[in-house]
Amino acid sequence: MPITYTSQGQVEVYRFSAPAAILIPLTALFLQAFLPLRLHFFSIFDLPLLVVIFFAVARRSQVSGLLTGAVIGLLQDSLTHHPIGVYGIAKTVVGFGASSLGVRLDVENLGARVLVTLFFYVVHEFVYFLVARGLVGLTLEWSWGHELGSAFANAILAAIIFTLLDRFKLRA
Amino acid sequence: MENFLSRYRNVSILVAVLFAQVLGLAVQVKRSTENESTRLIRVWTVSAVSPLEKAIVWFQSGTSNLWHGYVYLRGVRQENRELKDQIEKLRLERVRLVDDAEQARRLQALLGFKEQYISKTTAAQVIGSSGSEQSRSIYIDKGSNQGLDKDMPVITADGVIGRVLKVYPSVSQVLLINDQTSGVGAILEQSRLQGILRGTPAGEVILEKVMSDETVQPGEKVLTSGGDQIFPKGLPIGTVSKVSAGPEVFLNIRVRPATNLSKLEEVLVITRKEERPAAVAETAPARAVDILSQRLPSVPDKPRENAVTAAGKTTGTPNPAAATSGATQGPAASVPAPKTPPAAKNATTSKPSRAQVATDAVPAPNVQPLAKGAKKPGVDASSTSTPASVKPAMAQKPTPPASKVSQQTTKPIAAPPKPEQQPAVTPVPPEDKPQ
């Protein structure tokens, strides 16, 4: 079982340099906006969400996680034409949840990362669906097949990207 | 209370952040019907992301142009030949369409219609997208600095793709027609049924508000109706791909967009469109003879008498062909320059030369029987689809259509000079034609 219970003292807390903390989310936003034009299938991925999960789990701080999620979500909202806040709310919840999980569990290994991403992708889509339908009035259709397929794709991508992003971690 | 907040500090912050965002959303949704100004956070994000996108697109297109323009030229010669063939075909088609357009304009002018013209467009390159499946919009590399404004239509050579939604100084956001919040006034080309084109959450395009008792066939083209006051009328949108019974009393019509909306690279923004009464070429005040003279073969430099004399001297006998030719050209030389629009000039530029060749190709001895109703040269001229206005006089058909002004003008020019040339324009029944 990749996910193991550990005491808070045993899990390592990481921090990131200021350039990394700014440039990684911006790069994710840029790639999310740019790549679907060239690779149409890329629109099923949510790079900003993966970055939120990565930062939240690595920092293991709930406040830091939810704020990171809120900021990245709001920036992602500002690229769409919908009201600002839909992605913001969804990613705030994910950031809080992922950091809460990171405090209690060791999610540094590959299997744990895949499972965590899988779970939080579905949570993110569910919150987005609720907010978009309930508050904004968008007509969205929930399709389990599409959501689970996207969740698996994102989880596999997360396993690769998290390995790359590990290089930017600094011990706190 | 203080104890409670410190104990549940993290959850309290979460609730506060969520509450702030929900409040913000509610304010935006309430104001969405009003003329909403662009949020500062959007400007910041777009300003941060778009320069990098522009740079990459610029580098990518530069590299691609270098490769395809200077290195990888395989098949270019063949492609060039095919394109030339295509140009020839399109030229022929254009001549026909110019006539049709002129006719349509005349009718529109009679009915007092106003036409919409696309008078100015700006080419732009697609540099980015929203990055969300729920927001189908793209970013282009032109903004208010280049004269773009909100609600300007965006098209490609294939058809409509969307409209400008938000304008920044050097970037604009375009809402695609397959977004669920977009709407385009549309009309079916054949059945002339009107509806509203919308996107679906899945990114498909459907035509709404067409009654279920109407008949719509898959494959029918969908055009803009102009009813939305954004898109000019008549632009292609797509083709009907599937028709089924929809909710309530309406049909569910799926439309396949004419443009591949997931592979957009370059687009045109219609920055100016004009509405004015249909312009008609000033054919009414012009005399028919003026128009014909414009379309006739070139006028020789020599005076007519000299030409006829020279022809008589060469053959020793009066040459009817030469006389006919001279008679045809005579009035043309005497008329003043007509007021004909450039389009008409272009459309008929090649015709006189063909007619000239057809006339000149008739050998002198055969002219006399032809003048009495011969078939071949006249038929040859007709078979090349040369309009009657540029045929030699002897090739004219007995009853020219009333709509062809140029045909009506043929007789006065061909007839007057000499009485003996009259048979040349006299129609002969087909059974009398010599074998």
DSSP assignment of A90-143: HHHHHHHHHHHHHHHEE--SHHHHHHHHHHHHHHHHHHHHHHIIIII-------
Compare all CA atoms of chain B with the CA of A33 and give the residue at the minimum distance: B131
Interface membership of A89 toward B (CB under 8 Å): yes
- A17 to each of A24, B96, B255, how far by Cα in Å? 11, 69, 50
Give B-chain residues touching A80 at CB under 8 angstroms: 130-132, 134-135, 137
Per CB-CB distance under 8 Å, the chain B contacts of A94 are none
Q: Is B137 on the interface with A (CB under 8 A)?
A: yes
Is there a contact between B53 and A136 if contact means CB atoms under 8 Å apart? Answer: no
| Least Cα separation, residue B196 to chain A (angstroms) | 17
Calpha distance B88→B339 (Å, rounded): 28
Say yes or no to pLDDT of B61 above 50: yes
Region A123-136: mean pLDDT is: 92
SS3 state at B222: strand
* Cα of B202 to nearest chain A Cα, Å: 8
SS (H, E, C) B23-73: HHHHHHHHHCCCCCCCCHHHHHHHHHHHHHHHHHHHHHHHHHHHHHHHHCC
- SS3 call for B322: helix
Mean pLDDT of A105-128: 89
Residue B311: helix, strand or coil by DSSP?
A: helix
Give B169 or B114, the one with higher predicted confidence. B169
| Nearest-5° Cα angle at B267, B69 to B191 | 125
What global pTM score does this model have? 0.66
pLDDT score of A160 more than 90:
yes
Sorting pLDDT into bands at 50, 70 and 90, what band is B196?
very high
Identify which has the larger pLDDT, B399 or A78: A78
pLDDT higher than threshold 70 for residue B121: yes
CB contact (8 A) between residue B53 and residue A79: no
For chain A, positions 22-61, list CB contacts with chain B under 8 A.
26, 29-30, 32-34, 36-37, 40, 43-44
Q: Are B65 and B125 in contact (CB under 8 A)?
A: no
CB of B167 within 8 Å of a chain A CB? The answer is: no
**pLDDT computed for residue B4 by the predictor:** 73
Position of tokens 């689809």?
Answer: B385
Is B45 touching A (CB cutoff 8 A)?
A: yes
Burial class of residue B65 in the structure, from the number of CB atoms within 10 Å of its CB (0-12 exposed, 13-18 middle, 19+ buried): exposed
State what percent of residues in chain B have pLDDT above 70: 60
Which of A96, A97, A77 has the alpha carbon at shortest distance from A138?
A: A77
Residue B378 pLDDT? 38
Q: For tokens 């590299």, name the residue.
A: B63
Does residue B320 carry a pLDDT above 70?
no
Cα B205 to Cα B188: distance, rounded to the nearest angstrom:
14
Average pLDDT score over chain B: 70
Least confident window among B181-190, B258-267, B356-365:
B356-365
Rounded Cα distance between A29 and B82, Å, is 44
Instruction: Calculate mean pLDDT across residues B400-404.
Output: 41
For range B186-204, the mean pLDDT: 89
Sign of CA dihedral B208, B210, B212, B217: negative
Q: Quick one: pLDDT band at residue B290, thresholds 50, 70, 90?
A: low
SS3 A13: coil
Mark yes or no for CB contact A80/B137 under 8 Å: yes
Q: What is the mean pLDDT of residues B337-353?
A: 39
> How does residue B298 score in pLDDT terms, banded at 50, 70 and 90?
low
What are residue B129's DSSP bridge partners? B138
Of A96, A135, A140, the CB nearest to B29: A135
Q: Using pLDDT thresholds of 50, 70 and 90, give the confidence band for residue B329.
A: very low
Which chain B residue shows the shortest CA-CA distance from A150? B133
Q: What is the pLDDT of residue B294?
A: 63
Q: How far is A42 from chain B (nearest CA, A)?
A: 9
* B34 lies within 8 A of chain A by CB: no
- List of residues 6+ apart from B414 with CB closer than 8 A: B324, B327, B328, B393, B396, B421, B424, B425
pLDDT tens by residue, A17-27: 999 999 999 99
The token duo for B240 is 């009907």
Is there a contact between B24 and A84 if contact means CB atoms under 8 Å apart? yes
What is residue A96's predicted lDDT score, i.e. its pLDDT?
A: 94
Beta carbons of B22 and A66 less than 8 Å apart = no
pLDDT above 90 covers what percent of chain B?
A: 20
Q: In the prediction, which pLDDT does B106 show?
A: 82
The pLDDT, as a whole number, for residue A31 is 92
- What is the Cα–Cα distance from A103 to A80, expressed in whole angstroms? 33
Name the maximum alpha-carbon separation found in chain A.
46
Phi and psi at residue B133, to the nearest 5°: -75, -20
DSSP letter for each residue of B147-215? T--TT-EEE-SS-EEEEEEEE-SS-EEEEETTSTT--EEEEETTT--EEEEEE-TTS-EEEE--BTTS-
Q: Which residue has the higher pLDDT, A157 or B422?
A: A157
- Whether A136 sits inside 8 A of B262 (CB atoms) is no
pLDDT band at B104 (very low <50, low <70, confident <90, very high): confident
Across B62-66, B227-231, B422-426, least confident range: B422-426
Pick from B293, B322, B282: nearest CA to B389: B293
Is residue B431 over pLDDT 50? no
- Mean pLDDT of the region A83-97: 94
- Hey, are the CB atoms on B126 and A62 less than 8 Å from each other? no
DSSP 8-state code for residue B395: G
Which pLDDT does position B385 carry in this prediction? 38
Instruction: List helix spans (H) across A14-85.
Output: 18-38, 47-59, 62-79
- Of B23-37, B79-93, B262-276, B284-298, give the range with the top mean pLDDT: B79-93
Residue B227's pLDDT is 83
pLDDT band at B90 (very low <50, low <70, confident <90, very high): very high
Q: With an 8 Å Cβ cutoff, are A135 and B202 in contact?
A: no
Partners of residue B129 in chain A, C-beta under 8 Å: 33-34, 36-37, 43
Contact residues, chain B, for A138 at CB < 8 Å: 134, 180-181, 201
Q: What's the pLDDT band for B291 if we cut at 50, 70, 90?
A: low
Which pLDDT belongs to residue A137?
Answer: 84
Contact criterion met (CB below 8 Å) for A113 and A107: yes
Is residue A61 pLDDT above 60, yes or no?
yes
By Cβ distance, the residue of A43, A85, A96 closest to B21 is A85
Residues B161 and B259: beta-carbon distance below 8 Å: yes
- Residue B131 C-alpha, separation from nearest chain A C-alpha, in angstroms: 4
Instruction: Give dist(CA B185, CA B400) in Å, integer.
Output: 43
Residue B24 has pLDDT above 50, yes or no: yes
Query: Is some CB atom of chain A closer than 8 A to the CB atom of B42?
Result: yes
Among the listed ranges B252-261, B306-315, B344-353, which one has the minimum average pLDDT value? Answer: B344-353
Q: How many Cβ atoms are within 10 Å of B9's Cβ, its own excluded?
A: 12
What local confidence, expressed as pLDDT, does residue B226 receive?
85
pLDDT at B296 over 80: no
Are the beta carbons of B209 and B195 closer than 8 angstroms?
A: yes
Contact between chains at B14 and A141 (C-beta distance less than 8 A): no
Give the C-alpha separation, B180 to B71, whole Å.
43
Other Cβ atoms less than 10 A from the Cβ of B32: the count is 13
Distance from CA of A89 to the nearest CA of B (A): 6
Per-residue confidence (pLDDT) for residue A120, from 0 to 100 = 94
Q: Which residues of A touch B30 (CB under 8 A)?
A: none
- Distance CA(A117)–CA(B402), nearest Å, equals 77
Give the pLDDT band (50/70/90) at residue B349: very low
Chain A residue numbers with beta carbons less than 8 Å from the beta carbon of B53 are 30, 33-34
Residue B91's pLDDT is 92
Query: Which run of H or E residues covers position B266?
Result: strand B266-277
* pLDDT at B216 (0 to 100): 84
Say whether pLDDT at B308 is over 90: no
Residues 6+ apart with CB under 8 A from B229: none
| Residue among A33, A36, A88 minimizing CB distance to B21 | A88
- Cβ contacts (< 8 Å) between A86 and chain B: which residues? 25
Question: What does the alpha-carbon distance between residue A171 and residue B12 come to, in Å, rounded to a whole number?
Answer: 28
pLDDT of residue B228: 84
